[in-house]
Amino acid sequence: MRSRLTLRNAEAAPLKAIEPFSAAIFAERLLRDLKGGYRLISYFAQKTGGQNARLYAVIAYDDDGLLRVAATDVAGAFESLTTDTPQAHLFEREIFEQTGLVPKGHPWLKPVRFTGASPEGMGVMKFHRVEGAAVHEVAVGPVHAGIIEPGHFRFQCEGETVLHLDTALGYQHRGVERSLKGGPDKRSIHYIETLAGDTTIGHATAWCQALESLAGVDISFRARGIREIALELERLANHVGDIGALAGDIGFLPTAAWCGRLRGDFLNMTAVICGNRFGRGLVRPGGVAFDLAKSQVADILNRLNEAHEGLDAAVPMLFDSPSVLSRFEETGRLSIHHAVDLGLVGPAARACGIEHDVRKNFTRRPEPSTRFTISTWSTGDVFARGMVRWLEIQRSIAYVRDRIRGLPEDGSMRPMKPPRNAHVAVSLVEGWRGEICHTAITGADGKLALYKVVDPSFHNWMGLAVAMRGQQISDFPLCNKSFNLSYCGHDL
Amino acid sequence: MDILSVFNLLLALTLAPLLPGIINRTKAFFSGRVGQPLLLPYFDIARLLRKGAVYSTTTTWLFRAGPVAGLATAAAALTIIPALGQPALISFKGDIFLLACLLALGRFFTMLAALDTGSSFEGMGASREAFYAALAEPALLIGMAALALVTGELSISGMYAGIAGKVFVSIVPICALVAVALMLVFLAENSRIPFDDPATHLELTMVHEVMVLDHGGPDLGLIQYGMALKMWLLGSLVVGVVFPMPGGLYASVVYVCALFALAIGTGVVESIMARFKMPRVPQLLVAAGAASFLAVILAAR
């Protein structure tokens, strides 16, 4: 009996524990799982020579906190599942682009990042077109008016109403996954830390968890605590910045101005720990490179209290203003049905009422004593995405306060060992944007044979496109901000 | 020709760029910032006028005519705008229609210049501008009709001098309604919150700003000065019904102070409320029209 490999978060297993299914059974099982409400969190192919490749699918069983890895060997082509379960659509396109394997029956196979042969197709690729006398097309980007990353948006509009939005990304593709192959080496951690600059702690933690589990190293509880604190500080800084930016987009001055400043205060708290506002250099395989002294703990707690007071003054004002509510409510609405189908993650999914959070569903054993509450809302509109952020801000502040006082004293760094050969590990972290999934596979030489990164943005960009349907084109910046997805995290 | 009318016109031409400066300082105060210098709009205009301009090869003379027409119409309209009860430089029966036509002409050329670029953003902006203007114009004209009815005068100067001569209590309801309507027109025509957000950089959400995106250098300077004049002239109509008083030097002082107060008020509005969703904007403009119409009914009674 061939079987799938069952793993917990950040747990490694020998590669030979995965016994490949036949392609038909693989597809059938995968489809059954995804139809049954389990989530496809990573899906990739590893070339095994010539036309041959092995497909890996990682499925999350959220309620049990389990990850299942299934595999199959294919040659040249495989069965597309997109028409049955849309959450596979981008993964299949990615596999096609990276390995040349053709997903048979994929409704619209086009490049994801324009890697390799045809970057000249970028921006002039085929888009959905709506025909008709009243229909007009609006092209936005890749260069934008604000200081943001490059990405192209193509709207099909009827008057002010958006019929369809296509996103074309890939402008930020740097070949991170390719560079990690053959590692880990001295450069790897820096690639990871800058994979999505605003999620430094999130991605670095996922990377370190993967390497530590591959090496069979247990880090100290203190190091784990400091990583969690840094992760929450990263979430706080970004969520606060996002709420300020949402206010700025609708011209609501007070909250925009205050949150802009408070975001900096949270970044500075990270700098108190490691000297860098984005947490670069803090999370390292084996633990954390900077320990927290008592004076630093007091300093952070002080700053946290001050920032909390500022937030209590600035944010409720936003959610209480009628003019703001009339802008936020019913704008960019996404149903829970769509969110599940597209496999959305993070605050965008929780705003639709999906109760999913890696911090709750995939806690690492032994668990910290803190109880964790998932922050959700039900309406799935801009208001909900803002509100979920505000709920998370309040809970994260409470969490950091609690955690930082009770850090165990068992050292901050342990010696690392090289990864075991021919092992596989899946590492999940709830970054501020959502679920970060890193999958590492080592070869016979103990080097990384494959490193697959799935940033939450990879799942969520399609959510933005669907949320825009039937909306006012003038509301696009607001909807976009409410998702606040990463371009470089998607483009890798 | 009254020397004071010339003086008031000169005041308008020199002090108009102060209004956006005051609005920005007010907003800065509310967001806890020091804010830009009060005179920054002057420096900006001076700086822009010294620059060169870049023109896309796809544009025609229409693109260059836009800024000139915008400034020329605003400056021309100022000559028929009274300062409180002090008559304007020029006034004749039915000059209110000339005012509406001048505003429309300026807008027409700005929109043509926007369409001339062929940019989809600017096309959307022009379409929004046309839609909002079609709703703001009746509110302005009907409001003026109420003033004409209550004073029996047919020139703007006559109307504003007329309400200054009336017993205050008898015209309060009409003036209040017209003031509300004109205030909304003032905010809409000057692309202020809640109608438009002059501070945004998001081209998909803009109305006026997006139409002038491709203008630079002296053209942009003319546009900014023209917008300041437009703010001054529409503001004059608002403060005239709020402070009805006969003309004179004293009235000129009150006039300028009231306009500065109006700018502060606009800054306060922008500091405490969010911009409307675009489909809600017409509702507010129709409400302005309704207020004007109610004033007409009261005046005709």
Confidence band for A34, pLDDT divided at 50, 70 and 90: confident
Residue A368 has pLDDT above 70, yes or no: no
Contact A455, A436 (CB under 8 A): yes
Residues with Cβ < 8 Å from B172, sequence gap 6 or more?
Answer: none
How many Å apart are CA B227 and CA B48, to the nearest integer?
A: 15
Q: Of A145, A160, A321, which has the smallest distance from its Cβ to B273's Cβ? A: A321
Question: With helix as H, strand as E and coil as C, how does chain A read?
Answer: CCCCEEECCCEEEEHHHCCCECHHHHHHHHHHHHHCCCEEEEEEEEEEECCEEEEEEEEEECCCCEEEEEEEEEECEEECCCCCCHHHHHHHHHHHHHHCCEEECCCCCCCCCCCCCCHHHCCCCCCCCCCCCCEEEEEECCCCCCCCCCCEEEEEEECCEEEEEEEECCCCCCCHHHHHCCCCCCCHHHHHHCCCHHHHHHHHHHHHHHHHHHHCCCCCHHHHHHHHHHHHHHHHHHHHHHHHHHHHHCCCHHHHHHHHHHHHHHHHHHHHHHCCCCCCCCEECCEECCCCCHHHHHHHHHHHHHHHHHHHHHHHHHHHCHHHHHHHCCCCCCCHHHHHHHCCCHHHHHCCCCCCCHHHHCCCCCCCCCCCCCCCCCCCCHHHHHHHHHHHHHHHHHHHHHHHHCCCCCCCECCCCCCCCCEEEEEEEEECCEEEEEEEEECCCCCEEEEEEECHHHHHHHHHHHHCCCCEHHHHHHHHHHHCCCHHHHHC
Instruction: Using DSSP bridges, classify how beta strands A77-79 and A102-104 pair: parallel, antiparallel or unpaired.
Output: parallel
Which residues in A have their CB inside 8 Å of a CB on B?
136-140, 145-146, 160, 247, 249-254, 256-258, 261, 321, 323-324, 326-327, 331, 472-478
Do you find a cis peptide bond into A14, omega within 30 degrees of 0? Answer: no
Return the half-sphere exposure (C-beta side, CA atoms, 13 A cut-off) of residue A150: 9
Contact A203, A196 (CB under 8 A): yes
Confidence band for A124, pLDDT divided at 50, 70 and 90: low
Buried residues in B188-225 as b, exposed as e (16+ CB within 10 A):
bbbbbbbbbbbbbebbbbbbbbbbbbbbebbbbbbbbb
C-beta atoms of A475 and B277 within 8 A: yes
User: Model confidence over A213-255: pLDDT tens digits?
Assistant: 999 898 998 999 999 999 999 999 999 999 999 998 888 888 9
Contact A329, A383 (CB under 8 A): yes
Count the Cβ atoms, other than its own, within 10 Å of residue A408.
12
- Chain-centroid distance of CA B39 in Å reads 20
The dihedral built from the CA positions of residue A114, A119, A123 and A127, taken in this order, carries a sign that is negative
Count the Cβ atoms, other than its own, within 10 Å of residue A207.
28
Phi, psi of A139 (to 5 degrees): -105, 125
Q: How far is A250 from chain B (nearest CA, A)?
A: 5
Predicted pLDDT of residue B40: 95
How many Å apart are CA A72 and CA A53, to the nearest integer?
A: 9
B272 interaction partners in chain A (CB closer than 8 Å): 253-254, 321
C-beta atoms of B280 and A251 within 8 A: no
Contact B185, B178 (CB under 8 A): no
Q: How far is A194 from chain B (nearest CA, A)?
A: 27
Predicted pLDDT of residue A432: 93
How many Å apart are CA A416 and CA A215, to the nearest integer?
A: 8
Of A297 and A147, the one with more pLDDT:
A297
Confidence band for A279, pLDDT divided at 50, 70 and 90: very high
C-beta atoms of A474 and B278 within 8 A: yes
State which residues of chain B have pLDDT below 70: 1
Residue A366 has pLDDT above 70, yes or no: no
Task: Taking residues A477-482, report their average pLDDT.
Answer: 91
Q: Tokens at residue A44, please? A: 């990739």
Q: How far is B287 from chain A (nearest CA, A)?
A: 17
CA distances from A186 to A179, A180, A219, A412 (A): 12, 10, 20, 20
How many Å apart are CA A162 and CA A185, to the nearest integer?
A: 47
Which residues in B have their CB inside 8 Å of a CB on A?
27, 30-33, 120-121, 123-124, 128, 193-194, 197, 199-205, 270-280
Cα-Cα-Cα-Cα dihedral of A95, A97, A102, A106, to 10°? 80
* Of A145-154, A174-183, A369-378, B109-118, minimum mean pLDDT range: A369-378
How many Å apart are CA A52 and CA A71, to the nearest integer?
A: 13
Please state the domain extents for chain B.
3-300
C-beta atoms of B276 and A140 within 8 A: no
Q: How far is B229 from chain A (nearest CA, A)?
A: 24
Residue A48 has pLDDT above 90, yes or no: no
User: Model confidence over A325-357: pLDDT tens digits?
Assistant: 999 999 999 999 999 999 999 999 999 999 888
Task: Taking residues A83-107, report their average pLDDT.
Answer: 88
Cα-Cα-Cα-Cα dihedral of A170, A174, A179, A180, to 10°? -70
SS3 assignment, position B12 = helix
B277 interaction partners in chain A (CB closer than 8 Å): 326-327, 331, 472, 475
Count how many pairs of residues, chain A against chain B, have C-beta atoms within 8 Å. 88
How many Å apart are CA B213 and CA B119, to the nearest integer?
A: 10
User: Model confidence over B18-39: pLDDT tens digits?
Assistant: 999 999 999 999 888 888 999 9
- Chain-centroid distance of CA A214 in Å reads 22
Alpha helices, DSSP H, located in chain B: 3-15, 18-30, 40-50, 61-78, 95-116, 120-151, 156-165, 168-189, 208-211, 217-242, 249-272, 281-300
Q: Tokens at residue B208, please? A: 């006026």
Predicted pLDDT of residue B1: 56
Q: Tokens at residue B224, please? A: 């900014």
How many Å apart are CA B273 and CA A256, to the nearest integer?
A: 12
Looking at the domain A176-491, which fold is it?
Cytochrome-c3 Hydrogenase; chain B (1.10.645)
Residue of B nearest to A137 (CA): B120
Adjacent-strand bridge partners of A136: A157
How many Å apart are CA B178 and CA B181, to the nearest integer?
A: 5
Q: How far is B201 from chain A (nearest CA, A)?
A: 6
Residue of B nearest to A247 (CA): B274
Predicted pLDDT of residue B301: 78
Predicted pLDDT of residue B74: 96
Residue of A nearest to B203 (CA): A145
Residues with Cβ < 8 Å from A327, sequence gap 6 or more?
Answer: A250, A382, A478, B274, B275, B276, B277
C-beta atoms of B274 and A250 within 8 A: yes
Task: Taking residues A354-361, report their average pLDDT.
Answer: 87
Residue of A nearest to B271 (CA): A253
Predicted pLDDT of residue A145: 77
How much is the pTM?
0.90
Q: Of A254, A256, A326, which has the smallest distance from its Cβ to B277's Cβ? A: A326
Residue A1 has pLDDT above 50, yes or no: no
Q: Where in chain A is the domain with CATH 1.10.645.10?
A: 176-491
Predicted pLDDT of residue A101: 86
Count the Cβ atoms, other than its own, within 10 Å of residue A377.
20
How many Å apart are CA A52 and CA A101, to the nearest integer?
A: 9
A477 interaction partners in chain B (CB closer than 8 Å): 202, 204-205
User: How many residues comprise chain A?
Assistant: 492
Residue A491 has pLDDT above 80, yes or no: yes
How many Å apart are CA A24 and CA A78, to the nearest integer?
A: 9
SS3 assignment, position B175 = helix
Predicted pLDDT of residue B265: 95
Q: How far is A230 from chain B (nearest CA, A)?
A: 29
Q: Of B27, B194, B204, which has the smallest distance from its Cβ to A323's Cβ? A: B194
Per the prediction, chain A carries an average pLDDT of 89
